[in-house]
Amino acid sequence: MLIIGVIGKIGVFFASIPEPIIGGMYLVMFGIIAAVGISNLQFVDLTSSRNVFIIGLSMYIGLVVPIWSEKIITDPVAVKAMQTGNEEFDSLVAVILTSGMIMGAVIACFLDNTIPGTDEERGMTSYKLATKAVSDKKLLKEIYYEPLIEWAAVRAPILRKLPFVNN
């Protein structure tokens, strides 16, 4: 996008796209992003009240906290109560609180790792069965190889217990 903006004729072409067209493109793009996010829940037991609670609360927090924080940021009296004296830290907190994805993801990760649940509830067993169905293990290791994680796992074998580290 930066290169396109530097080339004048191409930048003018993209700037001339009407806002309703851009809105339609955003609608499709964010719809696909939401669908992919929901499809990641295919292995999770959605009949479990634990999982329904975690999903519901994280979605609620992701929707409500940014609206609340926008109201706080625009209110001069409330903003003074939230200031720490460090402008960079205040800006960081404002960005985190106004981002619904960050808030929802943090709450979901925290709750999923603190509320007790079985491997079946969390979808770990069905996920492992699905990955065992793939016949080419060498290809899987090449695709999901993370050098930094592998380096750390060699030095600290306990990290192999984490679900995202190759065994």
Taking the C-alpha atoms of residue 112 and residue 161, their distance in angstroms, rounded to an integer, is 17
Model pLDDT, residue 58: 93
Distances in whole angstroms, Cα of residue 97 to Cα of each of 8, 56, 70, 101, 116: 37, 18, 9, 10, 27
| pLDDT over 80 (residue 107) | yes
Q: What is the mean pLDDT of the chain?
A: 83
pLDDT band at 27 (very low <50, low <70, confident <90, very high): very high
Model pLDDT, residue 64: 94
Model pLDDT, residue 110: 94
Model pLDDT, residue 67: 92
CB-based contacts of 128: which residues, under 8 Å, 6+ apart? Answer: none
Least trusted range by pLDDT, from 53-62, 101-110, 130-139: 130-139
Structure tokens at 25: 């493109």
pLDDT band at 105 (very low <50, low <70, confident <90, very high): very high
Q: Which of 138, 111, 128, 126 is nearest to 163 (CA)?
A: 128
| pLDDT over 70 (residue 108) | yes
CA geometry: angle at 20 spanning 19 and 23, to 5°? 85
pLDDT band at 65 (very low <50, low <70, confident <90, very high): very high
Taking the C-alpha atoms of residue 114 and residue 117, their distance in angstroms, rounded to an integer, is 9
Q: Is the pTM of this model over 0.75?
A: no
Model pLDDT, residue 160: 78
Which DSSP string corresponds to 112-130?
HHHS---HHHHTHHHHHHH
User: How many other CB atoms are there within 10 angstroms of residue 101's CB atom?
Assistant: 11
Q: Which has more confidence, 54 or 122?
A: 54
Model pLDDT, residue 134: 62
Model pLDDT, residue 136: 66
pLDDT band at 166 (very low <50, low <70, confident <90, very high): low
